[in-house]
Structure 1
Amino acid sequence: MDFSLNEEQQLLKDSVDRFVRENYGLADRRKLVASPDGFGRDNWRIMAELGWLGAALPEAYGGTGGGPVETMVIMEGFGRGLVVEPYFASVVLGGSLILQGGTDAARREILPPLAEGRIQLAFGFAERQSRYDLFDVDTKAAKSGSGFVLSGHKGVVLHGGGADKIVVSARTAGARREKAGITLFVVDADAAGVSRRAYQTIDGLRAAEVALENVEVPADAVIGSVDGGMPLIEDAARRGIAALAAEAVGIMDTMQSLTNDYLKTRQQFGRPLGKFQALQHRMVDILIACEESRSAALIATLRLDDEDASRRDKAVAAAKVKIGQSARFIGQSAIQLHGGMGMTDEMQISHYFKRLTMIDLMFGDHAYHLKRYPAL
């Protein structure tokens, strides 16, 4: 099978790689992380102008007609630079929910300004008690006239502090841990009753705790069907996992390259560390882990729209397992081979490992997906 990129996808890859090289040195990233927004507004504008924000959206909604492969290309490039702009939260998660579940009117209202970089989205699905169970939803949505009233709390909402609209899951029927009875709503971030507490995560990104206190939303704020939001949540999670896998591949590939370069220049006992056979073997193991992860991420991406649900879900879960296992091995090995300096904030390698650790935990860590795989 031919897994090579077509001409347009290769051009997209080249433009992303060039952007990262020119704008994402370690010092540049530090400034962005320390800024009030936690990312670069100018960078976000450039991404919109280059068409990246709409790369996976249909042309009818302001996109360029791409799909999961285009998202994979962008996310892998972003992983190489540890890009902090809210592409994943806003486009991959928020955008896919609107595209897959929104009415035509909702898509036309939200997706074109998203592709143009004029608005940002976030997805609030996690709660204090939910852990990795996407169906564990305690936030309530009570019918009120023709609309609904939302009350509850969402935790670790990626880039929720700066989002213009937040897609939230709320229970409209059933008990807290039932899969049925969950509905998705689009909530204006500045609506009455919405409060947000933003903070920086360990990997330098931004997240927020979002409280909903009697927030009134109209009937057309529903995404998908009432009580039928769980399939959309699971679809967004699959697309999110595939995108994170691609980002992780970019990170691990960069860690491999940085570590290899370090071993070629660091001298010990009068010769470069890379001359020691045991360390050469370790680098080979790191390279193998990188390539295995790349294959798993690619298969997960290509299976996202597979009509065979079992084959699709197994590919995504397998990618999460392989990415998590490889991330730990490559991260720990890279830190060890850099010696004590590898742990410090001054070294790029430590920032890459922090992001890999966070990726493993999102939408379930590798142990969680390994356990659920046999039942898929």
Structure 2
Amino acid sequence: MSQRVQIFDTTLRDGEQVPGSQLTTDEKVIVARQLEKLGVDVIEAGFPVSSPGDFRSVVEISKAVREPIICALSRAVTGDIDAAADALQYAKRGRIHTGIGSSDIHIQHKFNTTREKIIERAIAATKYAKSKVEDVEFYCEDAGRADLAFLAQLVEAVIGAGATVVNIPDTTGYCLPEEYGGKIKYIFENVSNIHKAIISIHCHNDLGLATANSLAGISQGARQVEVTLNGIGERAGNTSLEEVVMALKVHPEMGLETAINTKEIYPTSQLVSKMMRMPIQANKAIVGRNAFAHSSGIHQDGFLKHNLNYEIMNPQDVGVDKSDIVLTARSGRHALKHRLELLGFSYEKAAVDELYSRFLEVADIKKEVNDADLVALSKAFASV
């Protein structure tokens, strides 16, 4: 089995479905070019049948980006597939991503049909998409809540109809990691033609488990993971690209790798945040403002002695300049002395102890002490 995990980025499709975060075609092209620089394998560029703007965006991204596969979403509907194929006409490598619901909830309450009819529609859609492009991905929507035996039957049917990738989405973010990993394991053990397709995972974050579920799926043999920058997306969001990529990098014992240039993670994250008007929470893993910041005295002391005491990755590896020592009333003498020395001030232990008492008084008032405050504090101390 391949040890390479393909990164399928859906920032411009699923991510862009967040209310208030829509992009113009020109903006999407800018983001797509940065995604290419980041090294993603697949860019899901849009849902062409949904609007003229989305159709045009897929066309223009197909023209602008040459390395990644360009993917267009469709339902298992002939008109959708036609629109996707037309939008992909300029793509160097195009993929149609079609599919239908796989859970009994969707089958009964969304499609008002039967499992047998779902399989018929799935086969027909896959074959029709295959007549348009060579690379066809099929999504089994709401697979997270689907009956396992039926899900395996559906996966086998669409692979038999020509699907090159089969997506097993936890559409509602319902699954627990062990449960989701078990679904992927079951599919590998019960689909006879599984070797003819790549199994993909697409997890949502409704319970905050999207990354954990994705890693569970990868550990059971899935070799494509569908993600967004900063974890943006419907409701509570999608699996975060940066979290999955860095989890695999930090854990080489998993024996898995991606083609991502991790030094482009932070710049890409910032671009997406700015263009989509989606602020990044301060404590967001990998790319949040505090991801490499230390304010506790115990942590600062340990970090200054050796960064591995409190950091499991180098900030430079994800495109962040450096770690940050934030001075607050929780900071200790070691951090204060370190920052003063960076500013050109050197003191003996007794002087540091006295300065530290004054520093705490300022910190209690200001909450966070900056370099200008320290310079003023040092000058006042020297004049005494």
What interval of TM-score do these two structures reach, taking the shorter chain for normalisation?
under 0.3
- Pair member with larger Rg: 2
Question: TM-score w.r.t. structure 1 length?
Answer: 0.25
Question: Which structure is higher in helix share?
Answer: 1
TM-score by length of 2: 0.25
